[in-house]
Each structure stands twice: as structure tokens, then as C-alpha cells.
Amino acid sequence: MIKNHKQAESTRRKLVELKDALKEFEVETTNKNSAKYRLGINSFGGLIKDLEEQIDTYESLVSGKFFCKKPVSLENISDILVSARLAQDLTHKSLGEKLGLKEQQIQRYEATDYETASLSKVIEVAMALNLKFYFERILILNGKSFDYPENISLEKVKVASQHVKASGFCLAR
């Protein structure tokens, strides 16, 4: 994910370089039916598509056109926080000021995808960005029995219960 203007510019340059390299590859390759050629074209195409999507997402965020990003897992929280900052046109400095932190600390959090931030700090950042997270499929171990939402089948509860007994924890899927 592109997190700032500098990264966006670098990505744009890399995209141009990749497109030029693709043209060169197409010209230099004589056997267009070979597996090597198809693999090369597919590789270039995949990389180009990925960079174009990253640039499009960044440009949408900073222009205010992109406003909703649904998290798929807890691992996506970093992308959500960065996206919200960009969409609100906040710099690292201005977000840091809201939180009483230095600009460099916000940069470090984003550089490490918030892995160095405590859960309470991640929550503070989310609150400063006016974000709310909702969790689904929560299974709570209460002593020896489970309390679970009505929309979860008894079979899923049994599987989760067995997993918790075997490993000591449960990952919702």
C-alpha cells in the first residue's frame, strides 16, 4: 500500500520502468509461443496491474473519492488506518498532533504497519481518525461452556470447542 506522496512518486516511476521493460522484452523475444515468453508477459502484466491498482487506490484516497474500506482480518487494520489518514487529508504531523505524538512516531507506526504500536495506541489512532471497528463471529469461552451468537450453528460451536480444548485458543473463520 502506498502511504505517502513520496511512495506514490516512486511507484509511478517504477511503473514507467516496468512498462518500458515490457516493451523491450516483447521486442527482444523472437519466439512468442514459448513458455518463457508467456511467463514473462504474465509476470510483467501482474506487476504492472498491482502497481496501477496501488496508484489508483492512493489517488482515490487523497482526492476524497474513496471512503469505505472493509477490513477482512485484523491484519488489515494498518491499511485501514493509513487509508483513513489519507482520505482525511491528514499528514503524519497533523495526526501526530491530534495524538500528542511526533510526526516521526506516526511514520514509524506506518512503516511497520503498526506492528510496533500497542493495541491501546492503535485504538487511540482509530479514535483520532473517527473510525469504529465492529467484530463479527465472536465466540467467548465462559468457564467450560460457550456463549455464542444465535447465528452460529451448533456444529461450528462444537468444532471451535474442540479446537480450544486442543490448542487453548480459537481463530474465527
List, for residues 65-123, the tens digit of each pLDDT value. 755 666 666 778 899 899 999 989 999 999 999 999 999 999 999 999 999 999 999 99
Q: Kindly report the pTM of this predicted structure.
A: 0.65
The contacts of residue 88 (CB under 8 Å, 6+ apart) are 129
- The residues spanned by each domain of the chain are 5-63, 74-128, 135-173
β-sheet bridge partners, residue 163: none
**Cα–Cα distance for residue pair 73/49, rounded to 1 Å:** 24
Burial of 144 from C-beta contacts in 10 A (0-12 / 13-18 / 19+): exposed
